[in-house]
Amino acid sequence: MSQMHNVESQLREMILGLEIGPGERLTERWIESRFGASRTPVRAALLRLETEGLICRDGRGWTVSPINLAELEQIAVYREAVEVAALRLTCAQGDKSSVEVVEAMLDSCGSGTPREEWHRVGMDFHIDLARLSGNEFLFRAVRDAMTRLSRARWLEVRDEAALSRAWAEHHAILAAVRTGNADEAARQLSAHIVGSRDRLVTSLRNDRRGLRARGFAVVAA
Protein backbone atom coordinates (compact mmCIF):
# COMPACT_ATOMS: atom_id res chain seq x y z
CA MET A 1 0.00 0.00 0.00
CA SER A 2 1.26 3.48 -0.82
CA GLN A 3 2.41 5.96 1.77
CA MET A 4 -0.46 8.23 0.87
CA HIS A 5 -3.04 5.59 1.70
CA ASN A 6 -1.12 4.70 4.83
CA VAL A 7 -1.16 8.24 6.11
CA GLU A 8 -4.73 8.75 4.96
CA SER A 9 -6.16 5.71 6.68
CA GLN A 10 -4.12 6.03 9.86
CA LEU A 11 -4.92 9.71 10.21
CA ARG A 12 -8.59 8.99 9.56
CA GLU A 13 -8.59 6.38 12.29
CA MET A 14 -6.93 8.77 14.71
CA ILE A 15 -9.51 11.47 13.97
CA LEU A 16 -12.52 9.17 14.06
CA GLY A 17 -11.16 7.51 17.21
CA LEU A 18 -10.83 10.95 18.80
CA GLU A 19 -7.12 10.40 19.39
CA ILE A 20 -6.90 13.83 17.79
CA GLY A 21 -9.69 15.96 19.16
CA PRO A 22 -12.17 18.02 17.16
CA GLY A 23 -10.80 21.52 16.70
CA GLU A 24 -7.18 20.46 17.15
CA ARG A 25 -4.58 22.04 14.90
CA LEU A 26 -2.58 19.86 12.55
CA THR A 27 0.75 20.66 10.96
CA GLU A 28 2.08 18.83 7.98
CA ARG A 29 5.42 18.52 9.72
CA TRP A 30 3.90 16.82 12.75
CA ILE A 31 2.08 14.27 10.60
CA GLU A 32 5.24 13.77 8.60
CA SER A 33 7.27 12.78 11.65
CA ARG A 34 4.37 10.94 13.29
CA PHE A 35 3.91 8.52 10.41
CA GLY A 36 7.41 8.53 9.01
CA ALA A 37 6.31 9.75 5.60
CA SER A 38 7.46 12.75 3.66
CA ARG A 39 5.31 15.76 2.97
CA THR A 40 4.14 14.77 -0.49
CA PRO A 41 1.99 11.81 0.63
CA VAL A 42 1.03 13.73 3.77
CA ARG A 43 -0.36 16.58 1.74
CA ALA A 44 -2.18 14.19 -0.58
CA ALA A 45 -3.78 12.50 2.41
CA LEU A 46 -4.82 15.84 3.88
CA LEU A 47 -6.48 16.83 0.63
CA ARG A 48 -8.50 13.65 0.61
CA LEU A 49 -9.52 13.93 4.24
CA GLU A 50 -10.59 17.49 3.56
CA THR A 51 -13.11 16.31 0.99
CA GLU A 52 -14.45 13.87 3.58
CA GLY A 53 -15.03 16.79 5.91
CA LEU A 54 -12.85 15.31 8.64
CA ILE A 55 -10.38 18.18 8.47
CA CYS A 56 -10.74 21.70 7.23
CA ARG A 57 -8.51 24.60 6.37
CA ASP A 58 -7.84 27.07 9.11
CA GLY A 59 -6.36 30.06 7.34
CA ARG A 60 -3.09 28.70 6.08
CA GLY A 61 -3.09 25.54 8.19
CA TRP A 62 -5.21 22.52 8.96
CA THR A 63 -7.68 21.82 11.73
CA VAL A 64 -9.57 18.69 12.70
CA SER A 65 -13.18 19.61 11.99
CA PRO A 66 -15.05 20.61 15.15
CA ILE A 67 -18.27 18.91 16.09
CA ASN A 68 -20.89 21.19 14.55
CA LEU A 69 -24.41 20.84 15.91
CA ALA A 70 -25.93 22.79 13.01
CA GLU A 71 -24.16 20.45 10.61
CA LEU A 72 -25.47 17.41 12.46
CA GLU A 73 -29.01 18.68 12.00
CA GLN A 74 -28.48 19.24 8.28
CA ILE A 75 -26.90 15.84 7.84
CA ALA A 76 -29.98 14.22 9.36
CA VAL A 77 -32.17 15.87 6.72
CA TYR A 78 -29.75 14.77 4.03
CA ARG A 79 -29.64 11.22 5.39
CA GLU A 80 -33.39 11.04 5.48
CA ALA A 81 -33.58 11.91 1.80
CA VAL A 82 -30.94 9.49 0.58
CA GLU A 83 -31.59 6.62 2.98
CA VAL A 84 -35.31 6.60 2.33
CA ALA A 85 -34.69 6.69 -1.40
CA ALA A 86 -32.28 3.77 -1.10
CA LEU A 87 -34.69 1.86 1.09
CA ARG A 88 -37.51 2.26 -1.41
CA LEU A 89 -35.29 0.89 -4.16
CA THR A 90 -34.43 -2.08 -2.00
CA CYS A 91 -38.09 -2.72 -1.20
CA ALA A 92 -38.87 -2.74 -4.90
CA GLN A 93 -36.38 -5.57 -5.48
CA GLY A 94 -37.68 -9.11 -5.61
CA ASP A 95 -34.76 -10.72 -3.86
CA LYS A 96 -34.92 -10.16 -0.11
CA SER A 97 -32.17 -12.61 0.85
CA SER A 98 -29.57 -9.88 1.24
CA VAL A 99 -31.64 -8.35 4.01
CA GLU A 100 -30.84 -11.37 6.13
CA VAL A 101 -27.15 -10.59 6.04
CA VAL A 102 -27.85 -7.18 7.54
CA GLU A 103 -30.15 -8.80 10.08
CA ALA A 104 -27.42 -11.24 11.09
CA MET A 105 -25.06 -8.34 11.65
CA LEU A 106 -27.56 -6.71 13.98
CA ASP A 107 -28.05 -9.95 15.89
CA SER A 108 -24.32 -10.30 16.42
CA CYS A 109 -24.67 -7.58 19.07
CA GLY A 110 -25.83 -8.62 22.52
CA SER A 111 -25.60 -7.53 26.10
CA GLY A 112 -21.93 -8.47 26.36
CA THR A 113 -20.87 -6.69 23.20
CA PRO A 114 -18.31 -3.91 23.71
CA ARG A 115 -19.31 -0.36 22.96
CA GLU A 116 -16.99 -0.08 19.97
CA GLU A 117 -18.87 -2.90 18.33
CA TRP A 118 -22.30 -1.36 18.96
CA HIS A 119 -20.99 1.83 17.46
CA ARG A 120 -19.63 0.15 14.36
CA VAL A 121 -22.69 -2.01 13.78
CA GLY A 122 -24.97 0.97 14.30
CA MET A 123 -23.25 2.75 11.43
CA ASP A 124 -22.76 -0.26 9.19
CA PHE A 125 -26.46 -1.04 9.40
CA HIS A 126 -27.30 2.15 7.57
CA ILE A 127 -24.39 1.87 5.17
CA ASP A 128 -25.07 -1.75 4.23
CA LEU A 129 -28.77 -1.07 3.90
CA ALA A 130 -27.98 1.70 1.43
CA ARG A 131 -25.62 -0.60 -0.45
CA LEU A 132 -28.46 -3.04 -1.01
CA SER A 133 -30.20 -0.45 -3.16
CA GLY A 134 -27.56 -1.03 -5.80
CA ASN A 135 -27.25 2.71 -6.37
CA GLU A 136 -23.64 3.72 -5.97
CA PHE A 137 -24.42 7.39 -5.34
CA LEU A 138 -27.01 6.78 -2.66
CA PHE A 139 -24.61 4.34 -1.05
CA ARG A 140 -21.69 6.77 -1.05
CA ALA A 141 -23.90 9.55 0.25
CA VAL A 142 -24.96 7.43 3.22
CA ARG A 143 -21.43 6.20 3.86
CA ASP A 144 -20.01 9.72 3.81
CA ALA A 145 -22.79 11.04 6.01
CA MET A 146 -22.22 8.29 8.56
CA THR A 147 -18.49 9.02 8.53
CA ARG A 148 -19.20 12.64 9.35
CA LEU A 149 -21.56 11.60 12.11
CA SER A 150 -19.20 9.01 13.54
CA ARG A 151 -17.37 11.13 16.12
CA ALA A 152 -20.52 12.82 17.36
CA ARG A 153 -22.23 9.47 17.80
CA TRP A 154 -19.28 8.22 19.77
CA LEU A 155 -19.40 11.21 22.11
CA GLU A 156 -23.13 10.80 22.65
CA VAL A 157 -24.02 9.51 26.06
CA ARG A 158 -25.96 6.33 25.39
CA ASP A 159 -27.25 3.99 28.02
CA GLU A 160 -28.27 0.39 27.53
CA ALA A 161 -31.86 1.46 26.89
CA ALA A 162 -30.88 3.80 24.08
CA LEU A 163 -28.81 1.10 22.41
CA SER A 164 -31.55 -1.49 22.51
CA ARG A 165 -34.04 1.09 21.32
CA ALA A 166 -31.97 1.74 18.22
CA TRP A 167 -31.51 -1.99 17.80
CA ALA A 168 -35.26 -2.56 17.91
CA GLU A 169 -35.88 0.25 15.43
CA HIS A 170 -33.35 -1.24 13.04
CA HIS A 171 -35.11 -4.60 13.26
CA ALA A 172 -38.48 -3.00 12.68
CA ILE A 173 -37.18 -1.37 9.52
CA LEU A 174 -35.84 -4.66 8.21
CA ALA A 175 -39.11 -6.41 9.01
CA ALA A 176 -41.00 -3.88 6.92
CA VAL A 177 -38.48 -4.27 4.09
CA ARG A 178 -38.83 -8.03 4.12
CA THR A 179 -42.57 -7.82 3.68
CA GLY A 180 -42.03 -5.34 0.85
CA ASN A 181 -43.99 -2.63 2.64
CA ALA A 182 -42.01 0.34 1.35
CA ASP A 183 -44.18 3.06 2.86
CA GLU A 184 -44.05 1.49 6.29
CA ALA A 185 -40.30 0.92 6.06
CA ALA A 186 -39.76 4.50 4.94
CA ARG A 187 -41.87 5.81 7.80
CA GLN A 188 -39.92 3.76 10.32
CA LEU A 189 -36.59 4.85 8.89
CA SER A 190 -37.54 8.52 8.84
CA ALA A 191 -38.71 8.39 12.42
CA HIS A 192 -35.54 6.58 13.42
CA ILE A 193 -33.27 9.15 11.79
CA VAL A 194 -35.16 12.12 13.19
CA GLY A 195 -35.31 10.59 16.66
CA SER A 196 -31.61 9.72 16.59
CA ARG A 197 -30.77 13.22 15.53
CA ASP A 198 -32.81 14.78 18.33
CA ARG A 199 -31.24 12.59 20.98
CA LEU A 200 -27.77 13.14 19.53
CA VAL A 201 -28.01 16.91 19.37
CA THR A 202 -29.65 17.16 22.78
CA SER A 203 -27.01 14.97 24.34
CA LEU A 204 -24.14 16.93 22.85
CA ARG A 205 -25.70 20.26 23.71
CA ASN A 206 -26.05 19.19 27.32
CA ASP A 207 -22.48 17.87 27.44
CA ARG A 208 -21.02 20.75 25.55
CA ARG A 209 -19.25 22.22 28.56
CA GLY A 210 -17.75 18.87 29.52
CA LEU A 211 -16.68 18.15 25.95
CA ARG A 212 -14.97 21.50 25.68
CA ALA A 213 -13.20 20.78 28.95
CA ARG A 214 -11.81 17.64 27.32
CA GLY A 215 -10.45 19.83 24.54
CA PHE A 216 -13.15 19.00 22.00
CA ALA A 217 -14.42 21.94 20.01
CA VAL A 218 -18.21 21.83 19.74
CA VAL A 219 -19.85 24.50 17.61
CA ALA A 220 -23.40 25.42 18.54
CA ALA A 221 -26.34 25.02 16.22
Partner DNA sequence: GATACCAATTTGGGATACCAAGTTGGTATC
Partner DNA sequence: GATACCAACTTGGTATCCCAAATTGGTATC
Q: Which stretch binds a copy of itself (CB under 8 A): 17-25, 27-35, 73-81, 152-160?
A: 73-81
Dihedrals phi, psi of 63, to nearest 5 degrees:
-135, 140
By CB under 7 A, tell whether 210 contacts DNA.
Answer: no
* Residue 49 interacting entry, from a copy of itself, DNA, none, C-beta within 5 to 8 Å by type: none
Total of residues contacting DNA (CB under 7 A): 19
Amino acid identity of 164? Answer: S
Contacts of 45 by beta carbon, 8 Å cutoff, 6+ apart:
4, 5, 7, 8, 11, 31
Nearer to DNA, 37 or 84 (CB): 37
In the complex, minimum distance from the CB of residue 138 to a copy of itself, in angstroms, rounded to a whole number: 6
Phi, psi of 110 (to 5 degrees): -135, -165
Residue 129 as a binder of DNA (CB under 7 A): the answer is: no
Segment 128-157, which members bind a copy of itself (CB under 8 A)? Answer: 135-138, 141, 145
Among 77, 92, 157, 168, binds a copy of itself (CB under 8 A): 77
Q: Scan residues 61-80 and list those touching DNA (CB under 7 A).
A: 61-62
Contact call for residue 33 and DNA (CB under 7 A): no
Regarding 9 and contact with DNA (CB under 7 A), the answer is no
In the complex, the smallest distance separating the C-beta of residue 124 from a copy of itself, rounded to whole angstroms, is 21
**Nearest distance in Å: CB 62, DNA:** 5
Residues 66 and 31 sit within 8 Å (Cβ to Cβ)? no
Q: Residue 41: count other Cβ atoms within 10 Å of its Cβ.
A: 19
Q: Do the strands 25-26 and 61-64 form a parallel or antiparallel pair, or are they unpaired?
A: antiparallel
Contact footprint for a copy of itself (CB under 8 A): 40, 43-44, 47-48, 51, 71, 74-75, 77-78, 80-82, 84-85, 89, 135-138, 141, 145
Contact footprint for DNA (CB under 7 A): 2-4, 26-30, 37-41, 43-44, 59-62
